[in-house]
Amino acid sequence: MSGAFTLEAAGMSKRFGALAALDNVSMRVEAGAVHALLGENGAGKSTLVKCIMGFYRADQGSLLLDGAEAEVRNPRDASLLGLGMVYQHFTLVPSMTVLENLVMARADTPAVIDWRHERRRLSAFIATMPFGAPLDTPVHGLAAGEKQKAEILKQLYLGARFLILDEPTSVLTPQEADEMLGMVRDMARAMRLSALLITHKFREVLAYADAVTVLRKGRLAGSGKVADLTVDQMAAMMIGEDRPAAAVERSAAAPGPVRLAVENLTADDADGAEAVRGVSLAVRGGEIVGIAGVSGNGQSELVETLAGQRDATGGRILVEGELYGATRAETQRHHLALLPEEPLRNGCVGRMSVAENMAIRNFDRPPISAGFWLSTGAMREAARGLIQRYRVKTPGPDAPIASLSGGNVQRAVLARELGGDAHILIAANPVFGLDFAAVADIHSQIVAARNRGAAVLLVSEDLDELLDLSDRLLVISEGRIVLETPAAAADRTAIGRAMAGH
Amino acid sequence: MDAEPPRRAALARFIDPLAAPLAAGAATVALFGLFVALAGRNPLEVYRLMAEGAFGSWFSWQNTLLRASPLLLTALCTALPAQMGLVIIGGEGAFVIGGLAAIAAGLRMADIGTPALVVQCAMALAGMAAGGALIALAGAMRHWRGVNETISSLLLSSIAIAVMNQVVEGPMRDPASLNKPSTRPLPDADLIGNIPGMDVHWGLALGLIACLLAWLLMRRTTFGFAARIVGGNSRAARMAGLPVGLMMVIVTGLGGAAAGLGGMIEVAAVQGDANANIAAGYGLSGILVAFLARQHPLAIIPVAVLLGGIGASGGLLQRRLDLPDAAVLVLQGILFVALLAGEALPPLSEWKAKVSR
């Protein structure tokens, strides 16, 4: 019931439909080691960890604990085997005290709780730990670092001897992060636990991890002792080697005048923390400006602010030289088009039909409207044209858009946004989760819009996509633009380092 | 994931919205049957009498339609905001405040000798404005202050009823009304009459027209289309640059105006004056109608007639079987609870998928 053990994942594969989220990945974490799991978003880190924790069942592969094969059918099994996970976001109940949270989390909590007994038991447990937590403070009263410590304490109290930390420092200050990771490392050194640290910050890997496994696109991209590797080597593993650009015809005309300008823009995230911290950029007609970055560095908030879904807290947006507030009149006058990420959630009404969703931009203009009245006939007619032109696979214009596959929802939104001649296009992760053919198709549409003279802002977590499509590349980190480079002369290593905040 | 063949999908679209109300109806019939059986009556006899009392004769039909007509308007108070994803349950208050505003305007106009039609139009406008303002307030608070519109509309409704009682017992009280404080009655010439050939007032026609207009507005105009976008996904609506807050105020205002018009009709066609009687629960039954109709403006019509019929049959049950008048309220209550429980069920077309999984 105590002491660190080794964990080995052998040949793990997991498919979701056509997508191989995890393809024959093996990883070995030594007892008492802090092992980093590195990779871009969508590289398969979460899938691997979820297979280990029993949230998913791997299609192939096995899990060995201390050399013996272990079957984990569900998270409960994992917990009984001593596997514990600390999530990026807090899972403690904010209104309850630390004591209440920890007692509640136990699987064997009695129906009637003897709080004095529980307090004694927990105090005795904490006395054996290198750190404590204020037992009687409600969790919402704790600082982020303390909350994260309480989360770790909870896992250890539940008997975890192998800790999986999923980007545990993303909500912490650097000082809190250092303290927390230092603690984990010390406990690993003392052979009390082994830890798997999911991260994309090289700094944390270098300072706290003994070994590292790098995933890229669901495959093992490399692994080794941290001492034997350089940052550049790890960045190369994470980002991948140069590969030939996809054959997308691009016209060589010089960029036109600035169509979209963002000046010192700031915006908060859903929790009220500042997510966009003074972004300035300009996109000219006939060029694609890419924004690279690890997700959660302010990209979503930036795009939402440009889309009118989020209010800016400062700065301004200029479209074709005029102040832009994302009203319907402005969007239509400037022909601004948007391909939001998760289009079903951000740009569609799921229960409305394909035709109705395709009309969201232009239902109030002829021919679909005649003054106050709506012509459903004209709406359907327009939709039929778009469905054909953009090859949207749907039973018909009247099918609810939520019944379409992800790629076809994306195509339908693309048809709506680009169907009317766009002057400015803002696209966020436009091919996320799509198959190869759909990716090529949507990429060529984006380049075609550029060739027609549109100013394109492309936000993506896929660096390959950005390097293929962009004329200019910006890197965003912690809400700021930290690097600008022409895409043709881009240095992947430098980009990788900038993305990782190094 | 293959899409269903279009015909089956179309069939599912037609059946799905009906499945939950029908299941709720069946459960209600069973439960209410049990209830009357426990009261020592034969359920089959009860249902036969109810059918007779509601739809058995021209007389009972007229009684039914009379009871249905306010429900047509109060149901819109819930169904219209529902198109934007709002759950408004303040129809009773809008109905009452609409009736009060209407009588105030009507008496003022009648006193200066205005023609009957003008008096009635002024009453209608006053009733709609008052009811609309009440519910629009709930919509505005929801958008700009984040106040839950369900709770606020319910509380605003209580305030409206209290205001009506206060005014009727105080400033507008007719000294001649002794037992039951009321306002002065409207002159007979200004009352709304009956539809020719029927014992049902013109309010029925206004209710039907209002449901039809509501349907046209939501299904056939750009405004209604925009409202449905807001109701379906407010993120998509903001991306489309739609003025979400303004639209919420307008649609909640229209819903309140419909209920306010109902209150005006109650005053001008049924009561003749305003007193506590106008808070007779039409607004609450309207919520039930709207939910049973799945917030579809046209489906409100048959549902309101059905509910009107249930109400109309109460008298017959009392006379023949000696069941208390409130028995039909028990039926309504069971129906509402069964319906809410049914709302939580997945659509019929998903059942098979669930089973085969």
Q: Total structural domains in chain B?
A: 1
What is the pLDDT, as a whole number, of residue A171? Answer: 66
Do residues A322 and A364 both lie within one domain?
no
A394 vs B3, B224, B239: nearest CB: B3
A28, A123: one domain: yes
Per residue in B302-338, pLDDT (tens digit) is: 999 998 998 888 888 888 888 887 888 888 889 888 8
Structural domain of residue B181, as residue ranges? 71-298
Mean pLDDT of A105-115: 84
- Which of A190-194, B6-10, B268-272, B316-320 comes out lowest in average pLDDT? B6-10
Indicate the residue type of B58: W
Q: Which of A400, A420, A440 is the last residue of a domain?
A: A420
Is A502 inside any structural domain? yes
Q: Is residue A271 part of a domain?
A: yes
Distance from CA of B242 to the nearest CA of A (A): 6
Overall average pLDDT of the B110-139 stretch: 93
Q: What is the pLDDT of residues A162-172, one digit of tens each?
A: 999 988 876 66
The domain in which residue A40 lies consists of: 7-239
Asked whether residue A247 carries a pLDDT value surpassing 70, the answer given is no
Q: Which residue of A has its CA nearest to B226?
A: A360
Asked if residue B283 belongs to a domain, the reply is yes
Q: Which residues of B222-261 are buried (b: 16+ CB within 10 A; e: fewer)?
A: bbbbbbbbbbbbbbbbbbbbbebeebbbbbbbbbbbbbbb
Tell whether pTM > 0.90. Answer: no
Residue B128 belongs to some domain of the structure: yes
* The pLDDT value given to residue A177: 80
Q: What percent of chain A has pLDDT over 70?
A: 95
Q: Which two tokens stand for residue A283?
A: 């996109």
Residue A413 pLDDT grade (very low, low, confident, very high; cuts 50, 70, 90)? very high
Comparison of pLDDT for B326 and A1, the residue scoring more: B326
- pLDDT tens digits for range A372-408: 898 989 999 999 999 988 888 888 899 899 888 777 8
- Average pLDDT for A338-343: 88
Q: Over 90: is that where the pLDDT of B70 sits?
A: yes
The region, left, alpha or beta by phi > 0 then psi within -120 to 50, assigned to residue A211 is beta
pLDDT band at B71 (very low <50, low <70, confident <90, very high): very high
* Candidates A331, A364, A394; nearest CB to B222: A364
**Residue where one domain finishes, among candidates A239, A268, A290:** A239
In a domain, A493, yes or no: yes
> Of the ranges A211-220, A459-468, B258-267, which one carries the lowest mean pLDDT score?
A459-468
* Residue A366 domain flag: yes
Q: pLDDT category, A267, cuts 50, 70, 90?
A: very high
Compute the distance between CA of residue B69 and CA of residue B53 in angstroms, rounded to an integer.
17
Q: How confident is the model at residue A244 (pLDDT cuts 50, 70, 90)?
A: very low
Inform me whether the pLDDT recorded for A100 exceeds 70.
Answer: yes
- Which residues of chain A make contact with B219, given a CB cutoff of 8 A? 374
> CATH number of the domain that A125 lies in?
3.40.50.300
Q: Output the 3-class SS for A42-74.
A: CCCHHHHHHHHHCCCCCCEEEEEECCEEECCCC
Q: What is the pLDDT of residue A436?
A: 61
Question: Is B5 inside any structural domain?
Answer: no
Task: For residue A350, give the nearest of B10, B221, B232 by CB distance.
Answer: B232
Do β-strands A194-199 and A19-29 pair in parallel, antiparallel, or remain unpaired? unpaired
Q: Is residue A342 part of a domain?
A: no
Question: Residues A101-106: what's their mean pLDDT?
Answer: 87
Return the number of CB contacts < 8 Å for A and B.
Answer: 87
pLDDT number for residue A245: 45
Minimal Cα distance from B12: which residue of A?
A: A399
Asked if residue A495 and residue A405 are part of one domain, the reply reads: no
* Angstrom distance (rounded) from CA A235 to CA A83: 29
Residue B227 lies in a domain: yes
Q: CA A349 from chain center: how many Å?
A: 23
Asked if A271 and A375 sit in the same domain, the reply is: no
**Is B239's CB within 8 Å of A340's CB?**
yes
Our CA-based measurement puts residue A185 at a distance from the nearest CA of chain B, in whole angstroms, of 43
User: Taking all residues of chain B, what is their mean pLDDT, rounded to a whole number?
Assistant: 87
Reading the block at residue B64, the tokens are: 């039914």
A433 and A403 in a single domain? The answer is no
- Judge whether B280 lies within some domain: yes
Q: With contacts defined as CB-CB under 8 Å, which chain B residues touch A398?
A: 10
Do A364 and B226 make contact, defined as CB atoms within 8 angstroms?
yes
Banded model confidence at residue A429, pLDDT cuts 50, 70, 90: confident
Residues A277 and A380 both lie in one domain: no
C-alpha to C-alpha distance for B338 and B32, rounded to whole angstroms: 11
Same domain, A212 and A169: yes
Minimum Cα–Cα distance from B230: chain A residue: A349
A436 in B contact zone (CB under 8 Å):
no
Asked if residue A149 and residue A74 are part of one domain, the reply reads yes
Q: Do both A251 and A314 map to the same domain?
A: yes
Distance of alpha carbon B72 from alpha carbon B82, whole angstroms: 15
Given this model, what pLDDT does residue A246 score?
53
Using CB atoms, which residue from B6, B232, B243 is nearest to A395?
Answer: B6
Q: Which chain B residue has its CA at the smallest distance from A369's CA?
A: B222
Instruction: Report the distance separating Cα B262 and Cα B91, nearest Å.
Output: 10
CA distance A243 to chain B (A): 32
Domain membership flag for residue B292: yes
Is the same domain home to A284 and A163?
no
* Mean pLDDT of the region A196-218: 88
Whether the CB-CB separation of B200 and B66 falls below 8 Å is answered with: yes
- A396 interaction partners in chain B (CB closer than 8 Å): 6
Cβ-Cβ contacts under 8 Å, B229 against chain A: 349, 352, 360
- pLDDT for B8 beyond 70: no
pLDDT score, position A393:
83
For residue B216, the chain A residue with the least C-alpha distance is A373
Cβ-proximal residues to A447 (8 Å cutoff; 6+ apart), any chain? A248, A249, A250, A288, A469
d(CA A190, CA A289): 49
Q: Using CA coordinates, name the residue in chain B closest to A413.
A: B236
Instruction: Please choose, from the candidates A188, A196, A208, the residue with its C-alpha nearest in 3D space to the C-alpha of residue A3.
Output: A188
The pLDDT of residue B207: 95
Q: pLDDT digits over A447-483, tens only?
A: 989 998 999 999 988 787 888 899 999 999 889 999 9
d(Cα A20, Cα A216) in Å, to the nearest integer? 12
Residues of A in contact with B235 (CB under 8 A): 309, 345-347
Query: How far apart, in Å, are the Cα atoms of A468 and each of A198, A339, A410, A449, B129?
Result: 28, 18, 20, 15, 60
The rounded distance, in Å, linking the Cα atoms of A217 and A219 is 6
Same domain for A433 and A405, yes or no, is no
Round to whole Å and give the CA distance between A90 and A167.
11
User: What does the alpha-carbon distance between residue A154 and residue A148 come to, in Å, rounded to a whole number?
Assistant: 10
Total domain count, chain A: 3
Domain presence at residue A341: no
Closest CB from B228, B233, B241 relative to A348? B233
Q: Could you tell me if A445 and A497 lie in one domain?
A: yes
Taking a C-beta distance cutoff of 8 angstroms, is the pair A175, A96 a contact?
A: no
Assess if residue A367 is contained within a domain.
Answer: yes
- Most trustworthy range by pLDDT among A242-246, B96-100, B328-332, B353-357: B96-100
Distance of CA A445 to the CA centre of its chain: 24
* Residue A53 domain-assigned (yes or no): yes
